[in-house]
Amino acid sequence: MAQNLSRLADFLPYLMSVTTNAVSDMIAGEYRARFGLKIPEWRVMAVLGDAGAQTQRMLVGATRMDKVAVNRACKVLEERGLVGRSPNSADGRSHHIELTAAGQAVHAEIMPLALDMEKRIFASLSAAEVAQLKDLLARINARVNELEQA
């Protein structure tokens, strides 16, 4: 009989996934209740609010969501008047997607809520631990990107 060399509860990718899902679910509940936004829709809005106009391909990379989820989120946001599309002059097959004035207003309402939730979620960590966690996550993300390029 094969020996169980590792328990799932000790597998770091599993722990990261469960933790990020728990955080996302908590935040999503607030966004859904107050703004009618699902997680993919908010992620698209957050990237657009931070980085400005993006193509759907760029949004896929920035959110790490699959292209179907990004496409659906963009369609919902466009139907709600929160994003608009404009032709991409550099590539006639794609469009730039950006927040409309209404989308910018919703984004501006959500950001203070998001920052408050971040503060509450990480209240059990010191400022140094939060900084260390951010550094560790950035390093892990960079390593994953390196491995994907190999």
Residue 66 sits at φ, ψ, to 5 deg, of -75, 160
Range of the domain at 139: 39-149
Do residues 118 and 26 lie in contact, with contact meaning Cβ atoms separated by under 8 Å? no
Residue 113 domain flag: yes
Tokens of 1: 């009989």
pLDDT per residue as tens, the chain (150 positions)? 455 556 888 899 999 999 999 998 898 888 899 999 999 999 999 999 999 999 999 999 999 999 999 999 999 999 999 999 998 888 878 899 999 999 999 999 998 998 999 999 999 999 999 999 999 999 999 999 999 998
Report pTM. Answer: 0.85
Neighbours of 145 (CB within 10 A): 10
Asked whether residue 71 is assigned to any structural domain, the reply reads yes
pLDDT of residue 5: 55
Identify the CATH number of the domain in which residue 121 sits. Answer: 1.10.10.10
Output the CA angle 76-45-133, nearest 5 degrees: 135
Provide the pLDDT for residue 1.
Answer: 44
- Phi and psi dihedrals of 30, rounded to 5? -65, -45
Q: Which of 137, 109, 131 is nearest to 49 (CA)?
A: 109
Q: How many domains does the chain have?
A: 1
95, 87 contact by CB (below 8 A): yes
In a domain, 137, yes or no: yes
Query: Is residue 110 domain-resident?
Result: yes
Cβ atoms of 77 and 70 closer than 8 Å: no
Count of alpha carbons within 13 Å of 16, Cβ hemisphere only? 8
Residue 5 lies in a domain: no
Return the amino acid letter for 44: V
Q: 10 Å Cβ neighbour count for 41?
A: 24
The answer to the question of residue 12 being in a domain is no
Residue 83 contacts residue 101 (beta carbons within 8 Å): no
Say if 28 falls within a structural domain. Answer: no
Residue 2 lies in a domain: no
